[in-house]
A and B are shown apart, each in its own frame.
Chain A
Amino acid sequence: MTAGARGQLQNEPLGAVLMWIMRPLQIAAQGTVHWLTGLRENYDTLAGFRAENERLRQRIQNLEIERQKLLEAQASNNRLKQLLDLRSQLSGTPITASIIANSATSWFKSCVLDKGISDGVRKGMAVVTPLGVVGQVVAVTARTAKVLLLTDANSGIDVLVQRTRSRGIVSGSLENGVLLKYVKRSEDIQEGDRLITSGTDGVFPKGMMVGTVIKVSKQHIGLFQSIEVLPAVQSARVEEVLVVAAERAE
C-alpha cells in the first residue's frame, strides 16, 4: 500500500502478473461489450427501419388507393367527355344514363338503365355510345328503362355497308353471335367492312357505327349471304350511354 501510495506500482510484480493475465481477458470482454452494444444499436436501428418500412409500406398502399381512384376518375371523366362530344353532335336532347343491371337470364341480351319516363326516356328510343350502337329501349318505368341489346336474337337494326352502301339487317342470334342478314349473294361484302346505321328505321341516327364484318360465307343454295359481325360496342364493358329520341329520315 505504501509502495502504491508512493507511485511505485509498476515495480510491483503481483500486480504486473495480474495485469498480464487480465489484459487479454479485458480486451476480449470489452470486445464482447462493444459487440453487444453494436448489436443492440443495430437492433434499435433495425427496429426503427422496420417501423419506418411499415410506415412507408402503409403510405404506398394509401397512395396506390388514391392513384386508383384518380385513374378511375380520369377514365370516367374521359368517357363522360366523349359522351358530351357525341351529345353535341346528335340532334334533339339526348339523355345520359348509366347501366345498373344486365340480363338475369341467358336467353335474352338486355340491360337496365337508371333513367326512365321522369327523365324523358320513352319506349323505342335508341341507346348509343361514342363507339356505336348499344340497343333500343323496349320497356320503360318511371325511373328505369329496359334496353334490348344489339346482340339479342330478337333485335334488328337497319344498316348500310359503309364501303358499298349495301343494306341489310343486323341482329343477334343464339347460335352465331351477331349476324348481318338479308344481304343478296350478288352484293360485294368483304371481311373488315364497316356497318353503319342507315337512319331509315326511325330509331337510330344515321351513320352510327354498328360493327365490322368478320366472316362472309355463301352457301350452295339460298338467296342471301351468311355474314358474321363483330359489334362495335362490347355491351358488357359499357357503363354510361346516351338515349336518343327516334329520328325520322327525310
Chain B
Amino acid sequence: MRLFLLYFLIGLFLILLQSTFFSLLPLGPIVPDLILVLCVYLGLHHPTVGAALGSFVLGYSVDVVSSRLLGFNAFAMTLVFLAVYFSSRSIWLHHPVVSSLIVLCAAVVKGVAMVLVWVIFLSMEGFWLGAVKYIVMEALVAAALAPVVFSLLRRGENYFNKFGAVA
C-alpha cells in the first residue's frame, strides 16, 4: 500500500513536470511521456493488480489534466502495463540495457491504442500522417529518457525500502 502511494505521488510529480516545465523543452508539439515510462517500470518490476490499477489511475490523471476525452490515456496506460506484464512473463526483459527498447515498443503500443480510440471517437481529418509522426517521436523521446527514469525509480525504491525498514 505504501509503495502504491509512493508511485502515485511520483506519478503526480511526473504529470506536474509534463504539464509545466516540459513545455520549455525545444521538442515542438512533443511532450516527453514519463508516465508511460513509469507504467512500463511498474509492469516489469511490480506485476500486481494494484500496479495495473495504478497505471489506470495515472493515465486517468493525465486525462483529467489534458485530454478532451476522459479515459483516453487511462485505457492506453492500462494496455501498456498489460502488454509489458504479459511480455515479461514469456521474454526476459529485466536487463537494464534493454529498458529503452521495451519503452520504445510500449510507446508504439500506446500510440496504436490512442489511434484506435481516436478513430472511434474523434476527428479524423489530417490524422494519419500526424499520428505516425507523434507515435515515432514520442517513442524515441521516451526510449531516450527510459534508462535515467528507470535508474531514478530503482534508487528511490531502494531508499524507500531502507527507510521503511528503519522506520
Contact = CB atoms under 8 A, between A and B. Distances in A.
Contact of A174 (B15, B68, B133): B133
B68 A138 contact: yes
B64 to A, nearest CB: 8
B131 interface: yes
B125 A181 contact: yes
Query: Which 4 residue pairs are nearest across A and B when measured between Cβ atoms?
Result: A174-B130, A173-B126, A175-B130, A104-B18
Best-surrounded residue of B19, B62, B128, B131 (most CB of chain A within 10 A): B19
B33 A153 contact: no
Contacts of B87: none
Contacts of A173: 125-127, 130
16 contacts: A102-B20, A103-B19, A103-B31, A104-B15, A104-B18, A104-B19, A106-B33, A153-B125, A153-B130, A173-B126, A174-B126, A174-B127, A174-B133, A175-B133, A176-B126, A181-B125
A198 interface: no
Interface of A: 101-110, 112, 138, 146, 148, 152-154, 171, 173-176, 179, 181, 236
Contacts, number: 86
Interface of B: 15-16, 18-20, 23, 29-31, 33, 35, 62, 65-68, 72-73, 114, 118, 122-123, 125-131, 133-134, 137-138
A236 B31 contact: no
Contacts of B131: 174
A152 B16 CA distance: 21
Contacts of A179: 125-126
Nearest to B17: A104
A112 B19 contact: yes
Best-surrounded residue of A106, A112, A176, A236 (most CB of chain B within 10 A): A106
A179 B125 CA distance: 10
Nearest to B36: A105
A175 B126 contact: yes
Contacts of B137: 106
A153 B66 contact: no
A102 B73 CA distance: 16
B66 A105 contact: yes
A103 B138 CA distance: 14
Contacts of A104: 15, 18-19, 31, 35, 62, 65-66
A108 B126 contact: no
A107 B126 contact: no
B66 A108 contact: yes
Contacts of B30: 106
Contacts of B19: 101-104, 112
A138 B131 CA distance: 23
Contacts of B127: 153, 173-175
Contacts of B73: 105
A231 to B, nearest CB: 13
Contacts of A112: 19, 65
Contact of A107 (B20, B23, B114, B123): B114
Nearest to A148: B68
Given A107-B134, A138-B68, A153 B129 contact: no
Contacts of B126: 153, 173-176, 179
Contact of A154 (B20, B33, B123): B123
Contacts of A171: 123, 125
Contacts of A101: 16, 19-20, 65
Best-surrounded residue of B68, B72, B118, B137 (most CB of chain A within 10 A): B68
